[in-house]
Amino acid sequence: MQRYGDYYRGRRVMITGGLGFIGSNLARRLADLGAQVLLVDSMIPDYGGNLHNIAGYEERLRVNLSDVRNVNSLRHLVQDQEIIFNLAGQVSHIDSMNDPRTDLEINCRSQLDILEACRQHNVAVRIVYAGTRQIYGRPHYLPVDEAHPVRPVDVNGVNKRAGEMYHLLYCDVYGIRSTVLRLTNTYGPRMLMRHNRQGFLPWFVRQAIEGQTIRLFGSGEQRRDMNEVSDVVEAFLLVGAVEETIGQVYNLGHPQAISLLEIVEILMELCPGSDYRLVPFPEEKRRIDIGDYWGDYRKLREAVGWEPAVSPREGLERMVRYYQEHGHHYWEVTPPPDLEDRARGDVTVGQRSLDR
Amino acid sequence: MQRYGDYYRGRRVMITGGLGFIGSNLARRLADLGAQVLLVDSMIPDYGGNLHNIAGYEERLRVNLSDVRNVNSLRHLVQDQEIIFNLAGQVSHIDSMNDPRTDLEINCRSQLDILEACRQHNVAVRIVYAGTRQIYGRPHYLPVDEAHPVRPVDVNGVNKRAGEMYHLLYCDVYGIRSTVLRLTNTYGPRMLMRHNRQGFLPWFVRQAIEGQTIRLFGSGEQRRDMNEVSDVVEAFLLVGAVEETIGQVYNLGHPQAISLLEIVEILMELCPGSDYRLVPFPEEKRRIDIGDYWGDYRKLREAVGWEPAVSPREGLERMVRYYQEHGHHYWEVTPPPDLEDRARGDVTVGQRSLDR
């Protein structure tokens, strides 16, 4: 892969949600590739932003703490960027049902605001937007391709679908060169671990590491595809560099769909002393559960040659190792004070100034 | 038709956008059928609300002036309603591009708010939501059925699509019995005539009546299907009364697709002295024009027996006659002062009180 070669060297790249799980992994990789990276993150306590995610990269990444709901800061931040990886989002499905308006503000209205800011101040920018397979709802067939009917089972799915439609619209009408990636379950280092409202997987990993009993809803036989975050980062980088992907929507996916029970069994092996038990589906989760899901990612493979490189076992092992070492930065709500001090009160973290 | 028989007699029905074009026609019909009708309308000056639309029905309809963006009033208004015909919306495609945030607030966020209000205060309510064929964008095939890909060509289309997805979601998850009708071009008496930003047809009719030269963009050969408003009212009434339509989406349509040029030629006949000329497409309209469109409404026909009864010629004649008589209530921005006085300062217009 790596068909992008030197594409990112010296480029001005902005990542919304840049201190979050996928955003920070992408940021670190972009820094390694020589890009000039600006991270924008709201640091909303319950979301994925975590200053430890850029540990060791503080001098090579610029950070601007701001919420995408703040239109005024957005208007400035988008200027002069060559590429925006637009990853900021409310990602908890349960939270979107309990507080649908906040989900709408972040996943729907702010996306429109970002695009409007680009239309007015940086129409030449390239955008790759992080969509989600959640928009499909319960699969009518498997694997799910991009033409599958869209029938979200939660408010998050509706708003994320609106978010991607805005990107495609601003591409069609104003020529803002956008691409949408519909992510499936992404996992790996730097994922939020403080609560269990952002998907089952991080919570399983945390419980396994802590030697707790994992509660598996239903029979545990639901199968899912999972992408280790380095594969997802690779997809963003490939797509951002290939002009033919503009105006298109692509599924991610993994050739090896795996049951929740199998995932748990791997975790039991990796973390001796942990165990699990099957429990009935809680009502609020059952209502928005989609059963089996795996995506057809052939369109993306054909467009940019993307193929997941990390198997579930390999990825889970990598994730467990990361949190065994760094878990204390993720179990707690408060980021390490030294890092937090550097970010507070100034647009810039790290040595580089905004106009460098 | 009229398979709803006595279904609406005595029922408590709320219509959002009730003083607008379709809302008021529906309200008058419901009053004739003996329903207890509450109209909610924002009376935003550039939108379709017009107190003359309920002339002659003031005693038989209750009016509550409020914007759907006002969550607090909504929370009260939805209570105790048996059926909500949810028609309030920003309907100008051009306005949605010039002011996308307002379109989002009304067509997207307020829809979520209405559904949340129902979930909390009236989960047993029946809702019929006015969607639009605008969500399909440029047709990939004709006639366009409900499975046609959704790729809106304007912000309005994105937000209207989000609006219908919320309705379907709240149906699936919370059991709020919603149905979505995707309207095509609707025309007829009581349509907004004050400006030309809500579709070509009312403007053509006004210009023909006033003996002006109609400017037809492009070749005038674009073909469209058009529903006279009485047919659309019938569709709402049928769907609202048939439980099998719950959770479903239906296209409206007309068997006779007609070119814009043919429409203009009919208008020339009906209004001697008017004429037309072909002019190039203005850029802002060209960008969001969808070319030919006609919808496949078989699904609706099969579900409720709906079939348009009014031909384009008959409908245009009816519309021209209406505005020849009532045009002065529509050319101006200000509604007749006697009607306006009655609505101002009190929740109730007409003799019926809110708790009747």
Q: Is the pLDDT of residue B200 over 90?
A: no
Q: Suggest the residue from A155, A160, A178 to mutate for an interface test with chain B (most B CBs closer than 10 A).
A: A155
From A325-334, B62-71, B81-90, the region with the lowest mean pLDDT: A325-334
* The pairing of beta strand B12-16 with beta strand B83-86: parallel
Where do the H-state alpha helices sit in A252-326?
A: 260-270, 283-286, 298-304, 312-326
Q: What is the pLDDT of residue A329?
A: 93
Q: Is the pLDDT of residue A195 over 50?
A: yes
DSSP state of A136: G
Say how far apart CA A70 and CA A74 lie, in whole Å.
6
Q: Is the pLDDT of residue A25 over 70?
A: yes
B19-43: average pLDDT: 97
Q: Is the pLDDT of residue B355 over 90?
A: no
Tell me, yes or no, whether B138 lies in a domain: yes
Q: What is the pLDDT of residues B262-301, one digit of tens each?
A: 999 999 999 999 999 999 988 877 776 788 999 999 999 9
Say whether A169 and B158 touch across the interface (CB within 8 A). Answer: yes
Say whether B162 and A159 touch across the interface (CB within 8 A). Answer: yes
Q: Is the pLDDT of residue B168 over 60?
A: yes
Q: Is the pLDDT of residue A343 over 90?
A: no
Vertex A97, ends A95 and A103: CA angle to 5°? 65
Q: Identity (one letter) of the amino acid at A338?
A: D
CATH number at residue B176: 3.40.50.720
B contacts of A150 (beta carbons < 8 Å): 150, 165
Say how far apart CA A105 and CA B101 lie, in whole Å.
11
Partner residue facing B165 (CB), from A100, A161, A169? A161
Q: Is the pLDDT of residue A32 over 50?
A: yes
CA B205 distance to own-chain centroid: 18
From A9-13, A198-202, B152-156, the region with the lowest mean pLDDT: A198-202
Q: Band of the pLDDT at B303, cuts 50, 70, 90? A: very high
Say how far apart CA A133 and CA A151 lie, in whole Å.
11
A contacts of B111 (beta carbons < 8 Å): none
Say how far apart CA B193 and CA B317 lie, in whole Å.
16
B contacts of A108 (beta carbons < 8 Å): 104, 108-109, 162
Say whether A152 and B169 touch across the interface (CB within 8 A). Answer: yes
Cβ count near A58 (within 10 Å): 17
Partner residue facing A169 (CB), from B109, B155, B165? B155
Q: What is the pLDDT of residue A348?
A: 36
SS3 state at A85: strand
The owner of tokens 């992510």 is A183
Tell me, yes or no, whether A256 lies in a domain: yes
Under an 8 Å CB criterion, which residues of A touch B?
97, 100-101, 104, 108-109, 112-113, 116, 147, 149-155, 157-159, 161-162, 165-166, 168-169, 172-173, 287-288
Tell me, yes or no, whether B201 lies in a domain: no
Q: Band of the pLDDT at A2, cuts 50, 70, 90? A: low
For chain A, how many structural domains are there in total? 1
Q: Band of the pLDDT at B304, cuts 50, 70, 90? A: very high
Q: Is the pLDDT of residue A276 over 70?
A: yes
Q: Which residue has the higher pLDDT, A161 or B198?
A: A161
Q: Which residue has the higher pLDDT, B352 or A57?
A: A57
Q: Which residue has the higher pLDDT, B352 or A179?
A: A179
**Residues found in chain A:** 356
From B39-48, B217-226, B282-291, B317-326, the region with the lowest mean pLDDT: B282-291
Name the strand (E) or helix (H) holding A172. helix A155-174
User: Cα dist. B176→A96, B124, B169, B275 in Å?
Assistant: 18, 6, 9, 50
Q: Which residue has the higher pLDDT, B333 or A146?
A: A146
A69-94: average pLDDT: 94
Q: Band of the pLDDT at B346, cuts 50, 70, 90? A: very low
Q: Identity (one letter) of the amino acid at A148?
A: H
Say whether B158 and A162 touch across the interface (CB within 8 A). Answer: yes
Say whether B149 and A147 touch across the interface (CB within 8 A). Answer: yes
Say whether A150 and B152 touch across the interface (CB within 8 A). Answer: no
The Cα of B158 is separated from the nearest Cα of chain A by a number of Å equal to 6
B contacts of A158 (beta carbons < 8 Å): 162, 165-166, 169
Say how far apart CA B10 and CA B177 lie, in whole Å.
20
Say how far apart CA B107 and CA B129 lie, in whole Å.
11
Tell me, yes or no, whether A348 lies in a domain: no
Whether the upstream peptide bond of residue B45 has omega within 30° of 0, thus cis, is no
**Mean of per-residue pLDDT scores for chain A:** 91
Tell me, yes or no, whether A99 lies in a domain: yes
Q: Pick from B171, B166, B122: which is nearest to B12 by CA?
A: B122
A232-256: average pLDDT: 98
A contacts of B173 (beta carbons < 8 Å): 97, 153-154, 287-288
**pLDDT over 90, % of chain B:** 80
Partner residue facing A165 (CB), from B100, B116, B152? B152
Q: What is the pLDDT of residue A200?
A: 86
Whether the upstream peptide bond of residue A143 has omega within 30° of 0, thus cis, is yes
SS3 state at B155: helix
Q: Pick from A68, A82, A72: which is nearest to A163 by CA?
A: A68
Q: Which residue has the higher pLDDT, B45 or B20?
A: B20
**Mean of per-residue pLDDT scores for chain B:** 91
SS3 state at B313: helix
The ipTM is: 0.85
Q: Identity (one letter) of the amino acid at B159?
A: N
Q: Which residues contact A283 (CB under 8 A, 6 or more apart)?
A: none
Vertex B306, ends B301 and B311: CA angle to 5°? 115
Q: Is the pLDDT of residue A55 over 70?
A: yes
- For A160, the closest chain B residue by CA position comes to B162
The owner of tokens 């951002």 is A240
**Residues found in chain B:** 356
CA torsion A220-A225-A228-A234 (nearest 10°) is -170
Task: Tell me the whole-structure pTM to 2 decimals.
Answer: 0.88
Tell me, yes or no, whether B284 lies in a domain: no
Q: Is the pLDDT of residue A305 over 90?
A: yes
- For B96, the closest chain A residue by CA position comes to A112
Say how far apart CA A181 and CA A236 lie, in whole Å.
8
Q: What is the pLDDT of residues B203-245, one digit of tens each?
A: 999 999 999 999 998 889 999 999 999 999 999 999 999 999 9
Say whether A113 and B101 touch across the interface (CB within 8 A). Answer: yes
Name the region of A38 (left: φ>0; alpha: ψ -120 to 50; beta: rest): beta
B contacts of A112 (beta carbons < 8 Å): 100-101, 104, 155
**Residue A249 structure tokens:** 């929507």
A55-77: average pLDDT: 93
Q: What is the pLDDT of residue B348?
A: 36
Say whether A149 and B147 touch across the interface (CB within 8 A). Answer: yes
A55-66: average pLDDT: 95
Is residue B126 within 8 A of residue B73, CB to CB? The reply is no
Vertex A321, ends A318 and A324: CA angle to 5°? 150
The Cα of B168 is separated from the nearest Cα of chain A by a number of Å equal to 8
**Residue A141 structure tokens:** 């067939």
B65-83: average pLDDT: 93
Q: Which residues of B120-135 are buried (b: 16+ CB within 10 A; e: fewer)?
A: ebbeebbbbbbbbbbb
Say how far apart CA A85 and CA A87 lie, in whole Å.
6
Q: Which residue has the higher pLDDT, B222 or B334?
A: B222
Q: What is the pLDDT of residue A351?
A: 32
Q: Band of the pLDDT at A340, cuts 50, 70, 90? A: very low
Under an 8 Å CB criterion, which residues of B touch A?
97, 100-101, 104, 108-109, 112-113, 116, 147, 149-155, 157-159, 161-162, 165-166, 168-169, 172-173, 287-288
Q: What is the pLDDT of residue A268?
A: 96
Say how far apart CA A5 and CA B142 lie, in whole Å.
44
**pLDDT over 90, % of chain A:** 80
Say whether B155 and A147 touch across the interface (CB within 8 A). Answer: no
Say how far apart CA A239 and CA A160 lie, in whole Å.
19
B121-146: average pLDDT: 97
Q: Which domain holds residue B139?
A: 12-188+228-253+294-310+333-343
Q: Band of the pLDDT at B185, cuts 50, 70, 90? A: very high
Is residue A182 within 8 A of residue A135, CB to CB? The reply is yes
The Cα of B48 is separated from the nearest Cα of chain A by a number of Å equal to 25
Tell me, yes or no, whether A34 lies in a domain: yes
Say how far apart CA A172 and CA A166 lie, in whole Å.
10
Vertex A350, ends A347 and A354: CA angle to 5°? 45
Say whether A165 and B173 touch across the interface (CB within 8 A). Answer: no
Partner residue facing B165 (CB), from A97, A158, A173? A158
A contacts of B120 (beta carbons < 8 Å): none
Q: Is the pLDDT of residue A198 over 60?
A: yes
- For A288, the closest chain B residue by CA position comes to B173
Vertex A272, ends A270 and A276: CA angle to 5°? 90
Helix B155-174, helix B110-121: angle, nearest 10: 20
Q: Identity (one letter) of the amino acid at B249?
A: V
Tell me, yes or no, whether A7 lies in a domain: no
